[in-house]
Amino acid sequence: MARTLPQPAREAIEIVPVLQALADPVRLELVRELAKETEPRSCALGEYDLDITAPTLSHHWRVLREAGLTTTFVEGRTRWVELRREDVQARFPGLLDAVLA
Partner DNA sequence: GATACACTTCGATCGTTGTCAAATGATCGA
Partner DNA sequence: TCGATCATTTGACAACGATCGAAGTGTATC
Angle at 96 between CA 10 and CA 41, to 5 degrees: 80
CA neighbor of 64 nearest in space, from 46, 90, 82: 82
Residue 96 binding DNA, by CB under 7 A: no
Beta carbon of residue 79, minimum distance to DNA (angstroms, whole number): 5
Q: Is 83 helix (H, G, I), strand (E, B) or coil?
A: strand
Q: Which is nearer to DNA, 23 or 90 (CB)?
A: 23
What residues from 29 to 88 belong to the interface with DNA (CB under 7 A)? 42-46, 51-63, 72, 74-79
Beta carbon of residue 28, minimum distance to its own copies (angstroms, whole number): 7
Residue 53 binding its own copies, by CB under 8 A: no
